[in-house]
Amino acid sequence: MARVLEVQGVSKRFLGLLALKEVSLHLEEGEILAVIGPNGAGKSTLLNVISGLLRPDGGEVRLLGRPITRLSPEARTHLGLGRAFQIVQPLPELSVRENLLVGALFGKPGTSKKAAEAWVEEVLALTGLEARAEAPAGELTLLEDKRLELARALATRPRVLLLDEVMAGLRPKEAEEAVALVRRIRDSGVSVLFIEHLMPVVRALADRVVVLDHGEVIAEGPYEKVAREERVREAYLGRGA
């Protein structure tokens, strides 16, 4: 499989704190990759570096084989990198459909309104939001909010999608629905990298897991393999996990 995202030796320091220390990982085409670790491990910093919100102090990020380390978040979006955030911030006065149309027009400059509208209909169907398409975004339930956040990211036509704890706050049944949605997104041709605290979600969803602790990669592999590693159990899962 082709590598659609590569992080090579990335480091990031905040004053005296080394938040990321020569982190390397990759995401393959069609893969769902989980990045886990305790609070303060560097997970959100890593996503911010990949998406362009932070500039690393060392190392390189490549998207679809192209170096993007010095590109703006907007430029990365145009090249096919999408991100959904834990804190959902739609345009509340606009309808669900209008929110997605904004993303569709922004994600690929030069897209015609007709083409954007057609793509929005596909995204509404994929995310199960057709029935709520005309509802103001400010009136959605939490689960619908999460779906809209994923849909807004998908509207930009990403090849790689970053998910930042998008299951947070969901009840178990809702989390199951969200897991199924992420699988559908992957099956539609989008590779996914996600960070998550809920281990049942990670176990159910991830093809492969990367574990961070104190800004370093301490384990990588299938969930069952990394969960058995003593250093991982001590750092994150707990000795009784």
- Condensed to tens digits (0 to 9), the pLDDT of residues 53-80 reads 999 999 999 999 999 999 999 999 999 9
Please say if the pLDDT value at position 169 is more than 90: no
Which pLDDT band holds residue 89 (cuts at 50, 70, 90)? Answer: confident
pLDDT tens column, 216-234: 999 999 999 998 888 888 8
Cα 84–Cα 33–Cα 147 angle in degrees, nearest 5: 30
203 vs 239, more confident: 203
Highest mean pLDDT among 23-27, 201-205, 237-241: 23-27
Q: What is the CATH number of domain 3-237?
A: 3.40.50.300
| Averaged pLDDT, 112-133 | 94
Please say if the pLDDT value at position 85 is more than 90: no
pLDDT at position 111 is 86
pLDDT at position 24 is 98
pLDDT at position 239 is 44
Please say if the pLDDT value at position 184 is more than 70: yes
pLDDT at position 168 is 84
φ and ψ of 109, to 5 deg: -55, 140
What's the mean per-residue pLDDT of the chain?
92
Which pLDDT band holds residue 108 (cuts at 50, 70, 90)? Answer: confident
